[in-house]
Amino acid sequence: MEVYLDNSATTRVLPEVAELMTKVMCEDYGNPSSLHMKGVQAEQYLRYARETLAGLLKVGEKEIFFTSGGTESDNLALIGCAFANRRRGSHLITTQIEHPAVLQTMHYLESAGFRVTYLLVDGSGRISLDALQQAMTGETILVSVMHTNNEVGSLQPIGEAGALIKRMNPDTLFHVDAVQGFGKAKIYAKKLGIDLLSASGHKIHGPKGVGLLYVRDKVKIQPILHGGGQQMNLRSGTDNVPGAAGMAKAAELLYGHYDEDLERLRRCKSRFIEGLRRIDGVRINGLLPDGPEGEGTAPHIVSASVSGVRSEVLLHALEEKGIYVSAGSACSAHKPQPSATLRAMGAEPWMLESTVRFSFSVYTTIEEIDYTLQTMYDKIPMLRKYTRR
Amino acid sequence: MFTAFLIKYAEIGVKGKNRYLFEEALVHQIKFSLKKCEGEFEIRRTQGRIYVEALGEFDYDETVERLQHVFGISSICPMIYVEDEGFEKLCDTIVRYVGDVYPDRNKTFKVNTRRARKNYPMESMEVSAGLGEALLDVYPEMSVDVRNPEILLNVEIREKIYIYSVVIPGPGGMPVGTGGKAMLLLSGGIDSPVAGYMIAKRGVKIDAVYFHAPPYTSERAKQKVVDLAGIVSGYAGPVYLHIINFTDIQLYIHEKCPHEELTIIMRRYMMRIAERIAGETGCLGLITGESIGQVASQTLNSLAATNEVCGMPVYRPLIGFDKQEIVEVANRIGTFETSIQPYEDCCTIFVAKHPVTKPNLNVIRRHEHNLDEKIEELVKTALETEELIIVGG
């Protein structure tokens, strides 16, 4: 049995998506910038992609820009905004638990002369609005807060933060990294006061190599790629037509059965957490869906610390049974340093090397959950027996 | 502009009547290493020299780099060769050669002629003098220095005429395959690939064994070892990599023996298994990357304890090296970057906080008896389930 529980790293591409992309690549392969029929045909796919994704975010088509993925979207939003608004101020705000695509870009901007405040998070992995309010100054040009944390699944109070920012300084822009949240929560950019929003194709059963950046109408940001002036000069480079079409198709399919899916995801997560509680020495990081403020956690991510078992060993032990999970997050698994998110949440030292992330997709089944739990029941006692003494 | 290479070899020149065997092996290794190069080459062995001639277009830099990987080569001289069309023509050729190879000609030089074809109408000294004059006519900024020239222009008159002056150092050593075969214990760390490289440099063909311990070590750790074997094979030719699943043996030792002795006992079993495979595959010794005192299992006491289980000689080329010296070689041969990828290998996963540094052989032997019940069976299974990957074939 193969059980893929690493959907926050990437997801399986849906057959309908692959089919549409194959058609675009093999038949309607034109360049939308070409004047001839072939180009016009290709442009139709881009139009479809923009309309679809704009509709799902309830924004305008002209506000959707395609990029090479989440990382580029974050870079474009942050760097593009910082440099375009430099004369208004040089202060930026973000959180300690952002994805490296935001954190490292912030570090880059610091080296370019900007000042950055990194908001602390509480033990559940969420920022406090008071702290945000205190950090805001007249100099603040951008606040960037992630929607769903990729490691523990904590949800940030995006709507409240958006309202707060606009109340304090209508000129301060609000960027949301929604790479993990898009498709798992209904994110209506305008209602939430979001000016810039990043999302990625491959986290929602679409292709890798494509992402989007929503840029609210009238928000001016600078391009970071220079070239042929595609996408209203904001993002040069031949349009990734198959990517954009694939991402749109995936999102369309996902939102087509959104409510039932979400219900099932929640059931899976609850059952899984219930099962994990039966293992001694397991701690679940972040808020619990059945606990207080249970709405503050994502329906598809469970981060669990298993005492006495190193994450990598548990990962490979589960792998032997066909179960694929992540040690920390895939993005930091290659680096020996412990997770910044867990540290920011005040995790105890043993948890830093014994935490595994399970991330579900809407295609995860209850059988898979039970199989995973059973495998953990079988393996963990054995793994605990053989450790460093 | 260069069209051929003269390959010089130092050490094999002195091997007496076996010399032709060494030369043949060297030609074989050169052929093998150039197989993946762009272009076609003819490799000729005449009068104690090896010539690599390019037949048509080839990638000069790539070819030199490949040749620098072939043990047995002491230096590589890129050269040009021309048909003999008279002395006048030869003068033009050497003028053009110097013009092309030396953009800055404010240098001293000497022409050194060897006349292997004795029916050439001029004597060697005359040729050298004539060519030198021709050069001075065209490049007045050059000057002659016969004792210590900055440029030594070699002209060899054979069926064709060869000109060379550039000398690129080769890796030295002896052609792989002339020294038999040995089994390298390859861990994925910095030391063992360097040890393999050093033994291969002495002409020894390398096979390797890797012990992996899933789920405690990952598929990537194994891939890293395959990659390292690949880099070593760039020098040593194809490497037969035996992959042994060591998990059950390791867990059994963990269960039955004192924890401080785990590493030593584990290494004793690795040596035993490596020796078994080595014996079956015609290897004449084992190779490890051990260096005295580097870790607890590499003190003289510990080395004696692991050495004891082996009848075969164990070659430890790094035994007197400091870590920094090993790192230098690893960097030079290109294994360092791969070695430092952070995946655990089976030597580190269960390592005790305070492992024994002076194991007592009698105690170790006694504790090993705790394993009597199942260990033979486990070793047998490990050998039967080995995975063989031929790297760089």
Helix (H, G, I), strand (E, B) or coil at B88: helix
First-to-last CA distance in chain B? 32
Segment B322-333, tens digit of pLDDT? 999 999 999 999
For residue A16, count other CB atoms closer than 10 A to its CB: 14
Nearest residue on chain B to A379, judged by CA atoms?
B215
Q: Domain locations in chain B?
A: 4-169, 181-391
Burial category of A23 from C-beta neighbours within 10 Å (exposed 0-12, middle 13-18, buried 19 and up): middle
The position carrying tokens 């760089």 is B392
Helix (H, G, I), strand (E, B) or coil at A319: helix
Segment B186-201, tens digit of pLDDT? 998 999 999 999 999 9
Spatial contact of A141 and A172, defined as CB atoms under 8 Å apart: yes
The position carrying tokens 């006692």 is A381
User: What region does B233 belong to: left with phi over 0, alpha with psi -120 to 50, or beta?
Assistant: alpha
The one catalytic residue among A26, A81, A268, A331? A331
Cα angle A193, A197, A199 (rounded to 5 degrees) comes to 145
In this complex, is the C-beta atom of A337 within 8 Å of any C-beta atom belonging to chain B? no
Report helix angle A366-385 to A311-319, nearest 10: 120
Element (H or E) spanning A174, and its range? Answer: strand A173-177
Does residue A275 or residue B346 have the better pLDDT? A275
Q: How much is the pLDDT for A337?
A: 65
The model's confidence at residue B216, banded by pLDDT at 50, 70 and 90, is: confident
First-to-last CA distance in chain A? 34
Q: How much is the pLDDT for B17?
A: 75
Which pair of structure tokens corresponds to residue A301?
Answer: 């991510």
Amino acid letter at B103? P
Spatial contact of A375 and A25, defined as CB atoms under 8 Å apart: no
Q: Which of A95-99, B125-129, B139-143, B345-349 has the lowest mean pLDDT?
A: B345-349
Q: How much is the pLDDT for A329?
A: 47
From the CA of A310, how many Å to the nearest CA of chain B? 9
Segment B229-281, tens digit of pLDDT? 999 999 999 999 999 999 999 999 999 999 899 999 999 999 999 999 999 99
Which pair of structure tokens corresponds to residue B162?
Answer: 């060869």
Q: Where are the alpha helices (DSSP H) in chain A?
A: 15-26, 37-57, 70-84, 100-111, 129-135, 158-168, 241-256, 258-276, 311-319, 340-344, 349-352, 366-385
Q: Is the pLDDT of residue A57 over 80?
A: yes
In CATH, the number for domain B4-169 is 3.30.2130.30
The position carrying tokens 């590589």 is B76
From the CA of B310, how many Å to the nearest CA of chain A? 28
In this complex, is the C-beta atom of A204 within 8 Å of any C-beta atom belonging to chain B? no
Q: Is the pLDDT of residue B12 over 70?
A: no
CATH of the domain spanning B181-391, picked from 3.20.20.150, 3.40.50.720, 3.40.50.620, 3.30.360.10: 3.40.50.620
From the CA of B263, how many Å to the nearest CA of chain A? 12
Element (H or E) spanning B42, and its range? Answer: strand B40-46
Q: How much is the pLDDT for B348?
A: 66
- The share of chain A scoring above pLDDT 90, in percent, equals 90
| Mean pLDDT of all residues in A60-77 | 98
In this complex, is the C-beta atom of A316 within 8 Å of any C-beta atom belonging to chain B? yes
Q: Domain locations in chain A?
A: 3-11+258-385, 15-255
Q: How much is the pLDDT for B157?
A: 93
Spatial contact of A200 and A67, defined as CB atoms under 8 Å apart: no
Q: Is the pLDDT of residue A273 over 70?
A: yes
Does residue A140 or residue B39 have the better pLDDT? A140
Query: Inter-chain contact A316–B350, Cβ cutoff 8 Å?
Result: no
In this complex, is the C-beta atom of A320 within 8 Å of any C-beta atom belonging to chain B? yes
For residue B249, count other CB atoms closer than 10 A to its CB: 25
Q: How much is the pLDDT for B349?
A: 67
Distance CA B224, CA B187 (A): 9
- The share of chain A scoring above pLDDT 70, in percent, equals 97
Segment A302-355, tens digit of pLDDT? 999 999 998 989 999 999 999 999 986 444 445 556 788 999 999 998 898 899
Distance CA A29, CA A18 (A): 15
**Any catalytic annotation for residue A81?**
no
Segment A135-186, tens digit of pLDDT? 999 999 999 999 999 999 999 999 999 999 999 999 999 999 999 999 999 9
Spatial contact of A151 and A304, defined as CB atoms under 8 Å apart: no
Spatial contact of A66 and A245, defined as CB atoms under 8 Å apart: no
Helix (H, G, I), strand (E, B) or coil at A93: strand
Residues 6 or more apart whose CB falls under 8 angstroms from that of B369 comprise: none
Number of helices and strands in chain A (H, E): 12, 13
CATH architecture, domain A15-255: 3-Layer(aba) Sandwich (3.40)
Q: How much is the pLDDT for A336?
A: 54
Query: What does pTM read for this prediction?
Result: 0.83
By Cβ distance, the residue of A316, A334, A389 closest to B214 is A316
Which pair of structure tokens corresponds to residue B30?
Answer: 């050169």
By Cβ distance, the residue of B215, B219, B352 closest to A317 is B215
The model's confidence at residue A385, banded by pLDDT at 50, 70 and 90, is: confident
Q: How much is the pLDDT for A328?
A: 61
Number of helices and strands in chain B (H, E): 13, 15
Nearest residue on chain B to A336, judged by CA atoms?
B342
Q: How much is the pLDDT for A331?
A: 44
Segment A26-41, tens digit of pLDDT? 999 999 999 999 999 9
Q: How much is the pLDDT for A293?
A: 87
Amino acid letter at B220? R
Using CA atoms, how far residue A61 sits from A39, B2, B199, in Å, is 19, 61, 66
Which pair of structure tokens corresponds to residue B241?
Answer: 């990599």
Q: How much is the pLDDT for A330?
A: 44
Nearest residue on chain A to B251, judged by CA atoms?
A386
- The share of chain B scoring above pLDDT 70, in percent, equals 97
Q: How much is the pLDDT for A332?
A: 47
Query: Inter-chain contact B215–A316, Cβ cutoff 8 Å?
Result: yes
| Top-level class of domain A3-11+258-385 | alpha beta
Which pair of structure tokens corresponds to residue A165?
Answer: 């920012």
Query: Inter-chain contact B214–A334, Cβ cutoff 8 Å?
Result: no
Spatial contact of B25 and B72, defined as CB atoms under 8 Å apart: yes
